[in-house]
Structure 1
Amino acid sequence: MTGFAAYRETLAAKSRAAGVREATIQNVIPYLTLNARVLELDRAQPGQVNNPNAIPPFAPYRARHVTADLITRGRARFSSQYPYLRAIEQRFGVEPQIMMAIYGHETSFGRVTGGFDLPQVLASLAYEGRRRSFFEDEFVASLKLLDQGVPRGRLKGSWAGATGYPQFMPSVVLRLRTDGDANGTADIWNSELDALASIAAYLRDAGWKPNVHWGVPVRVPAGFNRSAVRSTLVAPRCPAVYARHSRWLSMREWRALGIVPTGRSLPDNEQASLIEPDGPDSTAYLTTVNYRAILDYNCSNFYALSVGLLGDAIAR
């Protein structure tokens, strides 16, 4: 055997070593095929070709992901489910509008969850080899979900292997899916409340700090000395994303430097980091530790900012 056919044997061996039932292995792995469309989509991602250092402007991204439609539908859900959202907030400490904003951003409130077969997607991405170890582990996790009784037909998702209303990778589903409607099951594919509670569980696990807002828009004065607040730390994960953040200062210290919130503010002693997504002379934000928790969900400044802004608009 050569190529993908031989690689199926590698996946079978890894699955057995991880404790996946033999019946599950035999029901799935011999029938896997390589999905060329998945490989095409993966190779087209930013940073793979052309100029990997180019940073597009934030405004077009924001316009696509903080839309009037998402705000309107998010507000309707926020209002109708508010008692349940408050109960989830009391359980996990996460702002309800942020749970709702991630749900809206990820799947348009359940409208777009993806139709790719997860085991096939994950096997194809693992075979490609760019992130082999990661996708092999996620493939094994997808088989463990089958072992737990999740139907194969439910394991559908994006071309990158994320599934359900929150778009969790299979390992995250195993670890953090949560029963939000108190019916004894944690169904992130059909229950909005389970999905929202699972998002809250994820953010708490990522270090969410209760009673702290994600950040605020600010005005930066002309002539501001950015080199004086530049961070010298190198993040172990997503270093290019974190390189765009300043060092931490308290809100009191930022105000002393002339950085003024344009709307709501944060407590004087709250630590915050400055980010200017479109560079000087454009909208800037002071972000808190909870912005970093959103980055853990998707390590993109544009993603985290648009989630925060969508949440603000929904709650308003």
Structure 2
Amino acid sequence: MNLLRSIRLAAPLGLAAALFSAPQGGAQVASPMVQPLPADPAAGFPGYLQLVGARARAEGVNQATIDMMTAGLTYNPRVVALDRAQPGSNPNSPPAFWSYYRSHVDAARIGGGRSALAANAAIIPRIEAQYGVPAKMLLAIWGHETFYGRVKGDFDLARSLATLAYDGRRRELFEAELIALMKMAQRGVPRAKMVGSWAGAFGNPQFLPSMYLRLARDGDGDGFADIWNSNADTLASIAQYFDDAGWRSGEPWGVRAGVPAALDRGQFTERLDAPSCPRVHARHSVWKTVGEWKALGVVPRAPINDGTLAVLFEPDGPENGSFLLTGNYRVILHYNCSNYYALSVGLLADEIAR
């Protein structure tokens, strides 16, 4: 899933951000070509809901739940307009990272993270011990996604997801999420809680419905994974997401680094094809151990084991900030496949813990 600032204040953060998110710094996909809407784009919407209902029944959703979730739904042209307004990124000329950083790692977000760290001191040690993910990372995601729960979105999720599925450009994705939302309702999640971003992400961590079903956790033991209002559930659910994505306990996400001006960066260009978001990963170097980077004159600015594998990344080019990024950085990219997002989350986490 970030729901913050102008269109991002109402856009999917977190797990929906694989579709709409921060600048990629090498985007995975360019914006799709905008197609003109038909004269009456909503004409087939009621019939489409009938088809979705049939698929939901085939997947085990009962009729009462289907009726409850689709009753009175109407096509939402604003959601389609927001979807079609999403900008693409030019992989050959990515915008400056440090401009993005200054608007996302500011005093308010750092202070909010430190306050949240103090306010949740009683529950954090247990969550860290259970999942192996540092609290600073959980709080940085929470702060990035919804400003610690202050901006979560107020779109009706069923209406938004049905509209986006009916629109057809990503039908399989959004239809599957709409049915997952129905399964949430059948599991007992109140319909009144089903509001969030225009693209279907919701709650403090901005999960999509399918992610809620698979990864949301009951962190306070009351029998309900309340990622809307419970801090314990929110932090446990983000921790479960990181754990599921392969977070390695005890390893940093990355460290700032000093790089000699004479380093021949061309010899370290990544040549492996990344399985996902290849243009994001293409801006990283080849993998080397920290010890090997040190032998080349690269100096980590924070403690990191010499045996840790890392890539070199200079988001705005040489002499404008350099980082050694570990495998845990790629876990953050699972949340939102954007170098801008992942790097600013890591840096926010470090500021919160400072």
User: TM-score, normalization: structure 2?
Assistant: 0.85
Match of residue 84 from structure 1 = 123
Q: Which stretch shifts more, 91-100 or 232-241? A: 232-241
Match of residue 308 from structure 2 = 270
Per-residue Cα deviation, 1:158-185 (whole angstroms, up to 9, x for no partner) = 1111010110000111111111223332
SS at match of 2:123: helix
SS at match of 1:106: helix
Query: Aligned runs of 1:103-182 on 2, under 5 Å?
Result: 103-182=142-221
Match of residue 107 from structure 2 = 68
Question: Structure 1: any 5+ residue segments left out of the alignment?
Answer: none
Per-residue Cα deviation, 1:181-208 (whole angstroms, up to 9, x for no partner) = 2333211011011101100000000000
Match of residue 279 from structure 1 = 317
Match of residue 81 from structure 2 = 40
Match of 1:288 among 309, 322, 326: 326
1:30 shift after superposition: 4.6
Match of residue 31 from structure 1 = 72
Q: Quick check: 2:194–2:202 contact (8 Å CA) kept in 1?
A: yes
SS at match of 1:199: helix
SS at match of 2:310: strand
Match of residue 33 from structure 2 = none
1:133 shift after superposition: 1.0
Q: Which stretch shifts more, 169-178 or 11-20? A: 11-20
Q: Quick check: 1:251–1:267 contact (8 Å CA) kept in 2?
A: yes
Q: Quick check: 1:8–1:30 contact (8 Å CA) kept in 2?
A: no
SS at match of 1:217: strand
Per-residue Cα deviation, 1:251-270 (whole angstroms, up to 9, x for no partner) = 000111111123x1310000
SS at match of 2:311: strand
Q: Could you say if the C-alpha distance between residues 6 and 185 of structure 1 is closer, same or farther in structure 2, counting changes exceeding 3 Å? A: closer
Alignment length, in residue pairs? 313
2-structure distance, mates of 1:32, 1:53 = 42
2-structure distance, mates of 1:258, 1:63 = 29
Work out whether 1:198 is the aligned partner of 2:237: yes
2-structure distance, mates of 1:216, 1:83 = 29
Highest RCO, 1 vs 2 (Cα 8 Å, sep ≥ 6): 2
- Seq. identity, %: 52
SS at match of 1:31: coil
Q: Which stretch shifts more, 108-117 or 80-89? A: 80-89
Q: Quick check: 1:46–1:52 contact (8 Å CA) kept in 2?
A: no
SS at match of 2:246: coil
Query: Given residue 302 of structure 1, which amino acid in structure 2 is its aligned partner?
Result: Y
Query: Given residue 315 of structure 2, which amino acid in structure 1 is its aligned partner?
Result: P
Per-residue Cα deviation, 1:108-127 (whole angstroms, up to 9, x for no partner) = 00000000111111111112
Match of residue 340 from structure 2 = 302
User: TM-score, normalization: structure 1?
Assistant: 0.95
1-structure distance, mates of 2:137, 2:317 = 25
Q: Quick check: 1:47–1:53 contact (8 Å CA) kept in 2?
A: no
Greater helix proportion? 1
Query: Aligned runs of 1:237-248 on 2, under 5 Å?
Result: 237-248=276-287
Q: Quick check: 2:97–2:315 contact (8 Å CA) kept in 1?
A: yes
Query: Given residue 60 of structure 2, which amino acid in structure 1 is its aligned partner?
Result: G
1-structure distance, mates of 2:105, 2:116 = 16
1-structure distance, mates of 2:193, 2:352 = 30
Q: Quick check: 1:216–1:261 contact (8 Å CA) kept in 2?
A: yes
2-structure distance, mates of 1:251, 1:83 = 35
Q: Which stretch shifts more, 300-309 or 271-280? A: 271-280
What's the RMSD between the two structures over aligned residues?
A: 1.6
Q: Quick check: 2:91–2:279 contact (8 Å CA) kept in 1?
A: no
SS at match of 1:203: helix
1:54 shift after superposition: 4.2
